[in-house]
């Protein structure tokens, strides 16, 4: 049972402010994922929750209790480090049972809890090994086991899967999802990986430059990004964004001269940019779409096709099409923008409210 | 096209030849020391250049052990060297940990000052040191040697320890603190066991340095009962003759503690204890 609340939290190193105005209310049992570009302060935020980094300003509460000055050991929070940070001189069992050892738990209880966690993570045959005799994936499991054995109030993960290969990453991702379902404990998870964020999170927190850009469910962020940064950060492939000027109350004109009609969009009159996800751009016969383009690179993914095109006077636009497209590099194509999925951004990057659709 | 090129035999031979040459170069003086220590006195000069004497004896060892003050010197040296090694390593471990893990005001200045102390030739400061030790009434005491040796060894030992601490990921301490340790518990249960090789190396280094130090021992100690072994060795040199056999026998005996020490710690030195801590 743990509700984590951050109120107006800031972090400064000397004069450098790396986090500002962080307001976040994490409900008990929620799975929160922090994403953002490198250096945006994700690890710093996580470490402040852990107690490894002092909080410069604001309050951090666990279940209503102020934690700013409480030592890490007294917060009852477990953390899985990106580097795993296994104790190299202890075997797997002692690594996992270390927290109970420190708290003076009875040996019998410790042994049974370690055995149980070991079984759950498929480590039961490795309990007597030293970390150096384990593969990367096994070390990762031990690091998770060390956190589970404690039965903490909340789990923190700092890019726990980033050192694993792709296949193992998928497997461990599922494992973490199952873990959350089984334990129902509050989890805060830092990642670079969109797929991890979108698949694991109840809510995603997008950070940039030390400021929270948006907090919301994966679908909310995908469908209603609060600004251009979130729009381009969430979703793969990246959203196309091009300059646009108002043309009447419900249409915009692009630099190529094309006029895009947006009947349900109230923000058209203030738009500076138009954003459209590649999956919302259709490839049509030349001359019949909104834009005329020349195919640049075609990527066949089997189920989908990525069509990279160049539009004269506008620049590159990418379309992602279901199935196969019989186009080749250099072919002339038409592109149609689905107006109900278009995003409009003001000059400062803020999204202009989309109504309808 | 063969995938793996075998090293050419000439190159292999060259490498071994170079190693062999180095070993002979390094070990030959030791061999000579042992040879002379077991050569009877009357043969030292007549068979001076032979690789092995025609007759051997343990008489020199017997004389040195039972009829000179060598054992007393040896004991003094042990006290001074062990005391210095312990005191220096303790201070260096604390300072090295602080330098490695904390940022504090004046850190750079302190490091710079410590480097500066290493730049002066000992001869320049020997007179002031003598005056200070005399003023404290510590002349002719083993304590004076321990204090002076510790002062001179702490800077280098600190840098040595700092580099060992730098090699231990900070994550490990943080993981321990998340697991419920205080900083001190994390230090004792996680960092200390991993620093053993570093502590061993530092102890060994300081012990050896103190064990063979002559200059300060000569200046600060004139009483026979307080002499350390390097000073004591000089008593084998009289105005008119040098007792080579006994001197070499004493030298061989003096090698024993260092050898034992390094045999004891070498397994820690070669082992990479932190392997497996992080990803890799
Ligand atoms: N001890 C420090 N002193 C000064 N600045 C620091 C310190 N630690 C971190 N920073 C700065 O704080 C910012 C946030 O760092 P942080 O490690 O939280 O980023 P991150 O989002 O986790 O990045 P990554 O995705 O690369 O792990 C960075 O710009 C970094 O340079
Ligand atoms: Mg980070």
Query: In this predicted structure, what is the pLDDT of residue A1?
Result: 67
Q: Is the ipTM of this complex over 0.90?
A: no
Nearest-Cα residue of chain A relative to residue B192: A89
Per the document, the length of chain A is 357
pLDDT at A152 over 90: yes
The answer to whether the Cβ–Cβ distance between A72 and B174 falls below 8 Å is: yes
Fold assignment, B68-279: MetI-like fold (1.10.3720)
Q: What is the average pLDDT across A243-257?
A: 91
Query: In this predicted structure, what is the pLDDT of residue B267?
Result: 67
Task: Give the closest of A52, A89, A102 to B185, CB-based.
Answer: A102
Query: In this predicted structure, what is the pLDDT of residue A182?
Result: 92
Residue labelled with tokens 């895009």: A260
Q: Average model confidence (pLDDT) for chain A?
A: 93
Q: Does A125 touch chain B (CB under 8 A)?
A: no
Query: In this predicted structure, what is the pLDDT of residue B56?
Result: 87
Q: Residue B280: which pLDDT band, with cuts at 50, 70 and 90?
A: very low
Domains of chain A listed by start with CATH number: 4-228 (3.40.50.300), 237-352 (2.40.50.140)
Query: In this predicted structure, what is the pLDDT of residue A184?
Result: 94
> What span, in angstroms and rounded, lies between the C-alpha atoms of A271 and B152?
72
Å from CA of B53 to ligand 1 middle = 71
> What span, in angstroms and rounded, lies between the C-alpha atoms of B187 and B195?
10
Q: Residue B279: which pLDDT band, with cuts at 50, 70 and 90?
A: very low
Q: Does A13 touch chain B (CB under 8 A)?
A: no
Task: Check pocket membership of A38 for ligand 1, CB cut-off 6 A.
Answer: yes
> What span, in angstroms and rounded, lies between the C-alpha atoms of B78 and B175?
41
Alpha helices in chain B (DSSP H): 9-37, 43-46, 59-67, 70-101, 107-117, 122-135, 142-166, 170-178, 183-186, 192-211, 215-220, 229-233, 244-270
B127's tokens: 């007179």
pLDDT at B2 over 60: no
Task: Check pocket membership of A335 for ligand 1, CB cut-off 6 A.
Answer: no
pLDDT at B87 over 60: yes
For A172-222, the pLDDT digits (tens) are 999 999 999 999 999 999 998 888 999 999 999 999 999 999 999 999 999
Q: Does A311 touch chain B (CB under 8 A)?
A: no
Query: In this predicted structure, what is the pLDDT of residue B273?
Result: 47
Atom of ligand 1 nearest to the CA of A45: 18
Q: Does A81 touch chain B (CB under 8 A)?
A: yes
Q: Residue A252: which pLDDT band, with cuts at 50, 70 and 90?
A: very high
Q: Residue B50: which pLDDT band, with cuts at 50, 70 and 90?
A: confident
Range list for CATH 1.10.3720.10 in chain B: 68-279
The DSSP code for A10 is E
> Considering only CA atoms, which of A217, A236, A242 is closest in space to residue A279?
A236
Residues in Cβ contact with B250 at an 8 Å cutoff, skipping those fewer than 6 apart? B64, B68, B70, B229, B232, B233, B236
The answer to whether the Cβ–Cβ distance between B276 and A139 falls below 8 Å is: yes
For A258-301, the pLDDT digits (tens) are 999 998 788 888 999 999 999 999 999 998 999 999 999 999 99
pLDDT at B69 over 80: yes
pLDDT at A127 over 50: yes
Out of A12, A15, A37, A40, give the residue to mutate to test ligand 1, the one with the largest number of ligand atoms within 8 Å of its CB.
A40
> Of A88-92, B67-71, B120-124, where does mean pLDDT reach its minimum?
B120-124
Closest-CA residue, ligand 1 atom 26, reads A38
């Amino acid at each position: 049972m743990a509700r984590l609340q951050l109120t107006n939290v800031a972090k400064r190193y000397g004069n450098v402010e790396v986090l500002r105005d962080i307001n976040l209310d994490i409900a008990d049992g929620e799975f929160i994922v922090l994403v953002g570009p490198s250096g945006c302060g994700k690890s710093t935020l996580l470490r402040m929750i852990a107690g490894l980094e002092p909080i410069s300003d604001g309050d951090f509460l666990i279940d209503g209790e102020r934690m700013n000055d409480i030592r890490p050991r007294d917060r009852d929070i477990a953390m899985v480090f990106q580097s795993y940070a296994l104790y190299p001189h202890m075997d797997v069992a002692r690594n996992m049972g270390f927290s109970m050892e420190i708290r003076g738990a009875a040996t019998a209880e410790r042994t049974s809890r370690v055995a149980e966690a070991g079984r759950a993570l498929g480590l039961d045959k490795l309990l007597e090994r030293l970390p150096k005799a384990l593969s990367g994936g096994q070390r990762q499991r031990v690091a998770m086991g060390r956190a589970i054995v404690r039965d903490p109030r909340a789990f923190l993960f700092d890019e726990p899967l980033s050192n694993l290969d792709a296949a193992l990453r998928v497997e461990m991702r599922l494992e973490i999802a199952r873990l959350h379902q089984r334990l129902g404990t509050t989890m805060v998870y830092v990642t670079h990986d969109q797929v991890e964020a979108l698949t694991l999170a109840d809510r995603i927190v997008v950070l940039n430059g030390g400021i929270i850009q948006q907090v919301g469910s994966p679908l909310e962020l995908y469908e209603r990004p609060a600004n251009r940064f979130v729009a381009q950060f969430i979703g793969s492939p990246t959203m196309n964004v091009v300059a646009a000027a108002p043309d009447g109350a419900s249409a915009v004109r692009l630099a190529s001269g094309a006029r895009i009609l947006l009947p349900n969009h109230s923000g058209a009159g203030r738009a500076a940019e138009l954003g459209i996800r590649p999956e919302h751009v259709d490839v049509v016969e030349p001359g019949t779409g909104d834009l005329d383009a020349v195919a640049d690179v075609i990527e066949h993914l089997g189920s989908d096709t990525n069509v990279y095109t160049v539009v004269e006077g506008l620049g590159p636009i990418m379309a992602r099409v279901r199935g196969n497209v019989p186009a080749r590099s250099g072919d002339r194509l038409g592109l149609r923008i689905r107006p109900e999925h278009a995003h409009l951004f003001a000059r400062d990057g803020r999204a202009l409210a989309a109504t309808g659709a | 096209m063969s995938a793996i090129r075998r090293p050419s035999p000439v190159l292999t031979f060259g490498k071994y030849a170079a190693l062999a040459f180095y070993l002979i170069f390094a070990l030959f003086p030791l061999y000579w020391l042992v040879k002379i220590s077991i050569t009877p006195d009357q043969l030292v000069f007549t068979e001076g250049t032979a690789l092995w004497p025609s007759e051997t004896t343990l008489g020199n060892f017997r004389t040195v052990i039972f009829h000179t003050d060598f054992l007393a010197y040896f004991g003094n040296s042990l006290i001074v060297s062990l005391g210095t090694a312990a005191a220096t390593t303790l201070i260096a471990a604390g300072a090295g940990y602080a330098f490695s893990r904390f940022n504090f005001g004046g850190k750079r200045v302190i490091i710079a000052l410590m480097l500066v102390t290493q730049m002066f030739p000992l001869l320049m400061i020997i007179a002031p040191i003598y005056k200070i030790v005399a003023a404290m009434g510590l002349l002719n005491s083993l304590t004076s040697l321990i204090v002076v040796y510790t002062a001179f060894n702490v800077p280098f030992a600190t840098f040595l320890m700092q580099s060992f601490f730098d090699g231990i990921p900070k994550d490990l301490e943080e993981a321990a603190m998340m697991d419920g340790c205080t900083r001190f518990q994390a230090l004792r249960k996680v960092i200390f066991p991993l620093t053993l090789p570093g502590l061993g190396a530092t102890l060994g280094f300081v012990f050896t340095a103190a064990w063979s130090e002559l200059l300060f021992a000569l200046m600060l100690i004139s009483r026979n009962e307080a002499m350390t072994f390097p000073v004591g060795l000089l008593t084998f040199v009289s105005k008119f003759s040098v007792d080579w056999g006994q001197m070499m026998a004493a030298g061989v005996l003096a090698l024993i503690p260092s050898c034992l020490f390094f045999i004891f710690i070498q397994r820690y030195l070669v082992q990479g204890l932190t392997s497996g801590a992080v990803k890799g």
